[in-house]
Structure 1
Amino acid sequence: MDSKLVKQYGSEILSYRLRTVRQKKRMQYEDFDKKLLKLDKEETHLCKQKNTIIWEPLKPPVQRGWNRFFVLREDVATSKHAAFFENILKKINTCDWSHRKDFMVKYRRFGRKKYRVKKQSLLRPDGWRFNRMGFTDEEKQFFDEVWEMDSRKELVKRYVFREPWRFVLRVRPNVIDKIRRRDAMVESRSQEIRNYLDANNYRYRLDKLLDGGVYKWWKGEREREKNVLKNKPLPRILEEVARGLL
């Protein structure tokens, strides 16, 4: 409380618990943050409700575009190692969608529009994902380590299947035979919350309240890679090396 009020009205005014301008302003910010957290909790609850909505069959089924994926080549599928390569394909197979059956995409060359077949390749997992995909020792022998540049211009080690000729692309119609039952009230309220947070750019403030900052994961990654020799004198470093701590 302001000391001027105490001098003017005496110490008895302290019993009224009057708030200063700064305290009132801080309470407004706190109330607004509580409102954002409440909206985030409500939005999460609505998303869970939409995910638990029952699927119902669509009669008649509808075709929407085409799917393209890899299958075993005919000679490989009839060989005695078909089950072995089928198990590998289940882990590195990719599926693509297109509204055209020939999977042609438009591109420009010298200002003119042309068409070419859309490229599709097998999955090239990085080291972290590759070790968690459950490959056996025999299956790992069919992969080569390749260093590539990622989107952040950093070198990443990836594992590439050594014999991609064993698989061929197959195109199938994308048939939709079931749809999710829609709840108009849930979708309307969810869209209302989304519009309020996005239109007023409150997502940044909400992320800061929930996680302490948008880039917290990147800061944590930098902390894990901190130099262990930083701010250590040379005698201490030599002592830790002799003791086998470094």
Structure 2
Amino acid sequence: MNTQEWPRCIKSARQKRRLVKTDRDKQLIQLYKRRWALWLQRAQLPPVALAEPYQSGWMRFFVLRDDIKRGPKAEFYETLLAKINTVECHHDKSFKRKKRRKGRYIYKAKEQKLRELDLYDWYHSKPILTERERVCFIRVESYNVKARSLQVRYVFTEPWRYVLKIAPYIITHKKALDVDIEAELAYIADRIDSNYLEPRLNRLTRGRCFRCRDDFKEPAKYINKFKNIPKYAHKEAYLELET
């Protein structure tokens, strides 16, 4: 049978299967876009102030030394600190981390440094630092063993002008919760997980992207329990799987 002689309104079986698959992929792409839009809406919700703020651990950051504050360049170093300051949080005020050494655990103080700029930040079209602030940095080159490449950093040459300060980490706001957004996200997540659609979504939206090792495992409902049982096995072997 020559399908070329058919009228245009009549489609072959292969074309029908292709249209069904294309329509399904379009629906998955729309589902992906809707999920992404809901994530953005949830992220843009304004925070809600707490009636009773509470402390959740400690925070550590750099401040200008007292003698530098009284100097003529106090304003310059305060402006620079706002660009290279780092903040770390910890549940303990001592900021010590557990480390294994010679078969036993010890607690070692956690080191904290000022921000180091990479080549992207240094040569950006909208630079972070001014020409006067760039003079305070030095170029440091080191070899990255994992990446097997030369790593370039710009480090502040006068870190002694700043000291670490520890203060309580107070929680004053919480994330807002929208019931409608959460309900729709839960519906989309349930549909994707129950129908095992995440690998196909990744293929349609991001191509052959990297997936975690657990993503390659089949869901339990698709696993054939009788696959690895030989045909000559006893009846009890099949009955044990059903229970």
TM-score between the two structures when normalised by the length of structure 2: 0.74
Percent sequence identity is 34
135, 138, 142: which is aligned to 1:148? Answer: 142
Residue in 2 aligned with 1:60? 52
Q: CA deviation at 1:69?
A: 0.8
Q: Which residue of 1 aligns with 2:119?
A: 127
8 Å contact kept, 1:61–1:177: yes
* Unaligned ranges ≥5, structure 2: 211-243
| Structure 1 residue 171 corresponds to structure 2 residue 139 | no
Equivalent residue, structure 1, for 2:227: none
- Quick one: which amino acid aligns to residue 121 of structure 1? K
Match of 1:32 in 2: 24
Structure number with higher helix proportion: 1
Instruction: Measure the CA separation in 1 of the matches of 2:176 and 2:53.
Output: 15
Coordinate RMSD, CA, aligned: 2.5
TM-score (norm 1): 0.74
Change (3 A) 1:56 1:88: same
In structure 1, the partner of 2:223 is none
Matched, 1:106 2:101: no
Q: Could you tell me which runs of 5 or more consecutive residues in structure 1 were left unpaired when the two chains were aligned.
A: 216-246
Shift of the 33–152 alpha-carbon distance from structure 1 to 2, 3 Å rule, reads farther
Candidates 11, 28, 33, aligned match of 1:18:
11
Q: How many residues align?
A: 207
Cα deviation, residue 157, structure 1: 1.6
Distance 1:82 1:61 in 2: 33
User: Residues 201 and 119 from structure 1, CA distance in 2 versus in 1: closer, same or farther, beyond 3 angstroms?
Assistant: farther
Provide the C-alpha distance between the structure 1 equivalents of 2:62 and 2:93, rounded to a whole number of angstroms.
15
- 1:177 CA displacement: 1.1
Residues 164-187 of structure 1, C-alpha deviations (whole Å, 9 max, x = no match): 111111111111112222113312
* Structure 2 counterpart of 1:175, one-letter code: I
Structure-2 separation of matches of 1:145 and 1:54: 41
CA offset digits 1:80-139 (Å, max 9, x no partner): 111111111111111111111111110100121110111211111112212344322221
Query: Which residue, 20, 45, 50 being the options, matches 2:37?
Result: 45
